[in-house]
Structure formats: structure tokens, C-alpha cells
Structure 1
Amino acid sequence: MKRWGLLALALSFNATAHKPMPDDFVDMTQALPEAIYDIRYFTDNNFVGEPVDAYLAPKCLLQQKAAEALKKVSSAAEQQGYKLKIFDCYRPQTAVAHFMRWAQDLEDTSTKAEYYPNLPKSELVGEYIAEKSGHSRGATVDLTLVKQGKDGQWQELDMGSPFDMFDTLSNTMDERVSTEQRANRLRLKALMEAGGFKNYSKEWWHYYLVPQPYSDTYFDFPVK
């Protein structure tokens, strides 16, 4: 068995596998219908290049406290003329294991140009991809802001790098981004921090509720 196969097997035993979604988790596509949902790991439009294991529906699931906090962020954003666009929320441990398998398959570089143009794939594990993710606790969200254009369409703000780009350019305070791009990142940061979330400094899109409702639990029920 390949090394990544053993790792995936080990992870499956460490997660809370085969258990249903806890009662205190909320489907945000119903609780926050005004947001825009682009759940990337349900599709092949992501760094893996295919739908990710355990994403069975394009839904955003969050623990109730995080859900209520994000609803407040959404209301504050709307007062400023913006909406939230959400890429990922709760992430099953099975999906994290899929990421690890992909990262350790160094021959598959089909998404390199778009997602990690300046790094060898061998350097992604640790800095960007890990054996466990805070997303699996249910109180972390990847998102951006959108604003309505003259044509009535909601467009993403220019953040200086795309979602899930593995590069120091995605660091929230990277000095290479333009004044406008930095202002957009800081606008999102201010809204999220006012709602009780904290930014992961290496990814401008990544925020987690403080304190975490589940500090030591990594769930593994599917997104469905």
C-alpha cells in the first residue's frame, strides 16, 4: 500500500467517522440565503482538479455559534453595499485525507499553473495542506466579498490573488498587492473580526471563530 493510503487509513480512525451531523450544525444555504455560495470542493474547480471526497452537495455547514456570527457579518456587509461569497465551511476529515493524497502524488501537477505556480508540489504539505484542518471543527469559513456592478451582477472584489492560491501573495498583509487590493482585504478582515472571527495570516480568505465551539474534535460526516 502506498504511503498516502496508510495515512488516509490512519486519519479515518482518528476522525469521528460514520456519525451523523450534530444537532448544533446549521445549513447556511438555508439560514443565510442572501449570501452567494461557490462551494469549490463539490466541483472540479479547485486545486485537486476534481470533486473532493465527502462533498455530496454544494452546501455550507457551520456550528450554530459560527453560523450566528456569520449572519451578523453578512448584515454588516450589506449595510456597506456588499455580500458574502462563500467557498468552504465545514470540511469532513475524509476530504482532508483526499487533499493529502493529492499533495503526495507529485506526478499530478495539472493544477500547478493556477494554484501553486511558484512552488514545487513537494512543499505544499505543512505550510498549506495538513493532516488535520480547523475546518473540520465546523467554525471556520473561506470567503470573500462581492459588490453589485452596473450590469446588476455581483462581482468579487479584487483581493490580489485568487482563492486557494498557494503563494505568499495570498498572505493577508503581503506588501506586493496594490493599495486597492489591500483595502479590500482589510475591509473583509474588519467585518469578520467585528463578528468574532480571526484571520489566518497566510490566507486572506480564511477565518475561524474565536473561541472554537469544538476545540479538539475533527468531524467526518459528509456535506450533504
Structure 2
Amino acid sequence: MKAIIFIVIISCFSGSYAQYAVLPENFVYVEKAVPGIMQEIRYAGKHNFTGRTVQSYNAPVAILTKAAAKALCKVQEELLNEGYCLKIFDAYRPQSAVNNFVEWAKNEEDTVAKNVYYPEVKKSKLFQKGYIASRSGHSRGSTVDLTIVDADTGEELDMGSPYDFFGSISHHNSNKPSKKQQANRELLKNVMNKYGFRPYSEEWWHYTLRNEPYPDTYFDFPVE
């Protein structure tokens, strides 16, 4: 494990980006900036609350601002030292993808993934309850959805609810998770907070870089 950690430390922001699309200035591909990080970009496939690939997610890759990626690299290094690893579900999100969510939410007949992601919430209430919005911090490039996995097995730590589950059990202050599940959430929150990320109270997986470089800009280049 020590050798792996050493490689990560010297490899942050190394390597070529030639096989990827050209990104806007100050954006990077997370897997290049944070070696060893795992990715499961849900919106690039059907395993998400819409039940289909989301518009503008043309590849299963995570993109962040350089500032957010550098901070995330420090999180990864510390977790690796403890035998854990980060796993990303979503990072930068194009505004057109957010618009796609809005259109999906308006179609109350489309409930193909309801039983998995929002079994206790009427689709018509998703806006009212804040689960869907017309603007997302993800589009500013410094917000990330993620969890922690065992570095040896790749198994996710039990956080008490799945990623993107629309319900009170996903809130940080929920008393529904077990003590172990709450401890796992605290492990993620503490290390993310240590390196400059603030949590979102309604979602245990959602973090935004404090002092993000583009606090008022919502980007719309595709994920590819």
C-alpha cells in the first residue's frame, strides 16, 4: 500500500490528455488528475433516476475544475493511506443535462426508475422538495458526487442509502442510518471538509469546493 500511495503523490496532474476531448481552460479529467480514483458515471448510462442516458453525457468520464481536482487528489491520498479509495458518480454536469432533468420531471408518466430512486415521493413533488432544480452547482465545475470504497476489494462503504436516493434517509442529519452507516458518512464528510469541500445537507454524497473558481458561471460543454 505504501508504494501505491507514493505513486499517487508524485502523479497528481501528470500524464497526457491527448486521448480525451479538449476541455475549456482550467478544467481537467479527474482520472488523470487523481490517479487510482474509481468512476461510475451514472448519467452516462441507464443506472440513474431517469432510467436512461442523460443528454450531453457522451462518455463515462468525470470532469472538474483544476482547483477542485487538486483538492480531491489530497482527499484520495489520505484515504489511500487508510486503506480506502474514492469513487465518483458525477462531477461537472452540463446545463443541457440539467435541462434534460427538468423535462424528465415534467413527464409524470415516466416513472421507470421510481421504485429504486424515489419510492416514497410523488414525481410531481420532486421540484417542491428540492430534488430537481433548474440550476445545479455541478454545472459550475467544482461540485462532485462520490463515496468511499475499500481500496483492496472496491466494495462501497455502506452509507445507509444508495446514491441519488430521493428521501430523508439520504440527509446528513437523518437518524435512520445505523451507527456504522453514520460513521461511514462522517468519514467521508470529515476528509472532504478537511480539504476544502462543503457538504450539501440533503445528500450525503454531494460536495462543493469552497472558494470555487466559477461561483456564478454555469457551463454547457458536453461530457466526452
Q: Which amino acid aligns with 1:147?
A: D
CA contact (8 A) 1:173 1:182 kept: no
Equivalent in the alignment of 2:15:
none
- 3-state SS of 1:164 partner: coil
Q: Separation in 2 of the partners of 1:40 and 1:176?
A: 25
Question: If the length of structure 2 is used for normalisation, what is the TM-score?
Answer: 0.88
* Structure 1 gaps, min length 5: 1-19
Q: Separation in 2 of the partners of 1:53 and 1:125?
A: 19
Aligned residue-pair number: 202
For residue 33 of structure 1, report the CA deviation from its aligned partner: 2.8
For residue 179 of structure 1, report the CA deviation from its aligned partner: 0.3
Equivalent in the alignment of 1:128:
131
Q: Separation in 2 of the partners of 1:43 and 1:100?
A: 18
- 3-state SS of 2:32 partner: helix
Q: Separation in 2 of the partners of 1:28 and 1:21?
A: 12
Q: Which amino acid aligns with 1:56?
A: N
Matches within 5 A, 1:38-117: 38-117=40-119
Q: Which amino acid aligns with 2:160?
A: G
Which moved further from structure 2: 196-205 or 23-32?
A: 23-32
CA contact (8 A) 1:144 1:156 kept: yes
Equivalent in the alignment of 2:171:
171
Question: If the length of structure 1 is used for normalisation, what is the TM-score?
Answer: 0.88
Equivalent in the alignment of 2:187:
187
For residue 79 of structure 1, report the CA deviation from its aligned partner: 1.1
* 2:131 equivalent to 1:139: no
Q: Which amino acid aligns with 2:133?
A: A
Q: Separation in 1 of the partners of 2:150 and 2:165?
A: 22
Q: Separation in 2 of the partners of 1:222 and 1:40?
A: 15
Equivalent in the alignment of 2:201:
201
- 3-state SS of 1:98 partner: helix
For residue 29 of structure 1, report the CA deviation from its aligned partner: 1.7
Q: Separation in 2 of the partners of 1:173 and 1:75?
A: 27
Q: Separation in 2 of the partners of 1:168 and 1:37?
A: 26
**Seq. identity, %:** 50
* Structure 2 gaps, min length 5: 1-21
CA contact (8 A) 1:200 1:206 kept: yes
Bigger RCO of structures 1 and 2 (CA < 8 A, at least 6 apart): 1
Q: Separation in 2 of the partners of 1:128 and 1:211?
A: 24
Equivalent in the alignment of 1:31:
33
Poorly superposed stretches of 4+, deviation over 2 Å: none
Equivalent in the alignment of 1:3:
none
For residue 172 of structure 1, report the CA deviation from its aligned partner: 1.4
Q: Which amino acid aligns with 1:108?
A: D
CA contact (8 A) 2:33 2:70 kept: no
- 3-state SS of 2:159 partner: coil
Q: Separation in 2 of the partners of 1:191 and 1:34?
A: 17
* 2:214 equivalent to 1:220: no
CA contact (8 A) 1:106 1:122 kept: yes
Q: Separation in 2 of the partners of 1:195 and 1:107?
A: 42
- 3-state SS of 1:84 partner: strand
